[in-house]
Amino acid sequence: MPSPLLDLFAGRLGGRRAVETIIAHRTFSDVVLPPRTRAALDEALSLVHSHELIFTQWGLGEKHSSGLGLAFNFAGPPGTGKTICAEAIATVLGKKLLSVRYAEMESMWAGETPKNVAAVFRMASEQDAVLFFDEADAIASRRTTGAAQAYQRESNTVVNVLLKELEAFNGVVIFATNLAVNFDPAFERRIRTHVRFEMPGVDEREKIWRVQIHPTKTPLADDVDFRALAERYEVSGGDIKNAVLKAATMAAAVPGIDVAKKIYQAELERAMGEVVEGRGVMQQSLFGEGQPSSDDRLMRAIEAAETRWQKSAQVAIAVGGVGALLGIIALVVAIVRG
C-alpha cells in the first residue's frame, strides 16, 4: 500500500525529490575504493551482518524495543561513492533504500522538519528500508544552547527528535556528510562507525574509468588509454562518470552511421576538461571545499571597500587640489588685468 506521506514527500522541487524510495540494485562490485575506505566499509558491513543475524534471525529485535538501530556516517567530498555504497548496503540486506535529502526537506517544509524527521523513520520501518540521510551536514552539526532564534530552536528540536528516533529504530541508518562537519556530541555517540570516503588514487581512478563503461557494448577507439586519463586528472568517481557520459554524447553526435561511431581518447580528454571547468564554476559560486571561509570573504570585502574608499578620497583630494589651483590662477589673472 503506498503511503500518503510518501506521496507528499515525493513532490518535486526543482526536479529533485526530498524523499525517495530506491529499489537497490547496485552492489559493491560497482564501486572502486581506496584501501582505507574499503577497510572502514568492511567493518561497517560486518556490523550490518551481525545486526541482521542478532535482531532478525535470532529474534532479539522482537524482544527488545530500544537501542537496536545501527547508524553510520559516510563522510567525504562529492562524488566519492557515498550514495552507491549506501545503496550497496541495502542490496546486501535485500532491502530498499529510503533516501532523504535533508537540506531540501528542511527548506521545503520549514517549521515542519521535526515532524517530517519522525515521519521518515516511521516510513523506513513500514517499508523495512535502510534509511539514508543525504546532505546531512546540517542535521549532524547543529544544536545550540541558551537563548536561540526561532530557526535554531527548530534545529535543536530536529536533533532531539532524531536522537529519539535513532534510539527506537530497529534498522540501519546512514548519514552522508562532508568532511568538515563538527558533530554534535550527543549525535556522535549514536554513530557506530565513521567511514571516510577518500578521493581515489591513480590506481582506483583507472579502475573507475573502466567500470564506468559497458564491458562489451560501449565502442571504444583503439587509442583510449585509461591509465593516461587516470594519471592526468585527479578527480572523483563522480567526475569520471560525468566525463564518460559527456564523451559518449560527443561521439554519438558525430555525423555518420551509428555502427561506425566510437569514443576516442580526444573526446574523453575534452569531456574531462569540461567537467573540471564546470566544477570550478560551481565551487566558486558555492564556496565549496578549498574556498575561503565566510569570515575570510567578509574580511576581504571590508578590505576591498576600504581600498575603494581610500582611492575615492585620493581622487577627491586631487580634484579639490586642481580646483583650488584654478581658483588661484583666476585670481592672479583678475589682479594682473585689473
Ligand X SMILES: Nc1ncnc2c1ncn2[C@@H]1O[C@H](COP(=O)(O)OP(=O)(O)OP(=O)(O)O)[C@@H](O)[C@H]1O
Residue numbers at the binding site for ligand X (CB under 6 A): 31-33, 76, 78-84, 176, 197, 200, 208, 211, 237-238, 241
Q: How far is the CB of 228 from ligand X (least distance, A)?
A: 19
* SS3 of residue 136 by DSSP: coil
* SS3 of residue 43 by DSSP: helix
Q: How far apart are CA 1 and CA 3, in angstroms?
A: 6
Pairing of strands 97-101, 130-134: parallel
- Cβ neighbours of residue 318 under 8 Å, at least 6 residues apart? none
Q: How far is the CB of 40 from ligand X (least distance, A)?
A: 13
Q: How far is the CB of 77 from ligand X (least distance, A)?
A: 7
For residue 26, how far is the Cα from the chain centroid?
A: 19
* 298, 300, 317, 321 from 312: Cα distances, Å: 21, 18, 9, 14
Q: How far is the CB of 28 from ligand X (least distance, A)?
A: 10
**Part of the chain binding Mg ion (CB under 5 A), chosen from 10-18, 79-87, 121-129, 253-261:** 79-87
Number of residues located near Mg ion, criterion CB under 5 A: 2
DSSP label of 258: G
Query: Which lies closer to ligand X via its Cβ, residue 179 or residue 304?
Result: 179
Query: Which lies closer to ligand X via its Cβ, residue 56 or residue 178?
Result: 178
- Cβ neighbours of residue 45 under 8 Å, at least 6 residues apart? 89, 92
Query: Which lies closer to ligand X via its Cβ, residue 91 or residue 170?
Result: 91
Query: Which lies closer to Mg ion via its Cβ, residue 37 or residue 83?
Result: 83
Q: Which of Mg ion, ligand X, none does residue 208 bind to, with CB < 5 to 8 Å depending on kind?
A: ligand X
Among residue numbers 175 through 234, which ones bind Mg ion (CB under 5 A)? none
Query: Which lies closer to ligand X via its Cβ, residue 24 or residue 114?
Result: 24
Q: Which residue has the cell 514527500?
A: 9
Q: Which of ligand X, Mg ion, none does residue 194 bind to, with CB < 5 to 8 Å depending on kind?
A: none
Which set of grid coordinates corresponds to residue 133?
Answer: 540521510
Q: Which amino acid is at 145?
A: T
Which of 83, 99, 155, 242 touches Mg ion (CB under 5 A)?
A: 83
Which set of grid coordinates corresponds to residue 222?
Answer: 583503439
Q: How far apart are CA 140 and CA 144, in angstroms?
A: 12
Q: How far is the CB of 177 from ligand X (least distance, A)?
A: 9
* 80, 275, 316, 325 from 328: Cα distances, Å: 72, 64, 18, 5
Q: How far is the CB of 168 from ligand X (least distance, A)?
A: 27
Conformational region of residue 123, where left means phi above 0, alpha means psi within -120 to 50, and beta covers everything else: alpha
Q: Which of Mg ion, ligand X, none does residue 78 bind to, with CB < 5 to 8 Å depending on kind?
A: ligand X
Q: Which of ligand X, Mg ion, none does residue 38 bind to, with CB < 5 to 8 Å depending on kind?
A: none
Query: Which lies closer to Mg ion via its Cβ, residue 170 or residue 236?
Result: 236
Query: Which lies closer to Mg ion via its Cβ, residue 83 or residue 116?
Result: 83
Q: How far apart are CA 95 and CA 107, in angstroms?
A: 28
Q: How far is the CB of 121 from Mg ion (least distance, A)?
A: 20
- Cβ neighbours of residue 78 under 8 Å, at least 6 residues apart? 178, 236, 238
Q: How far is the CB of 287 from ligand X (least distance, A)?
A: 16
Q: Which of Mg ion, ligand X, none does residue 33 bind to, with CB < 5 to 8 Å depending on kind?
A: ligand X
Tell which residue, 295, 313, 46, has the closest CA to residue 193: 46
Query: Which lies closer to ligand X via its Cβ, residue 55 or residue 271?
Result: 271
Select the residue whose beta carbon is closest to ligand X and give its number: 237
Site of interaction with Mg ion (CB under 5 A): 82-83
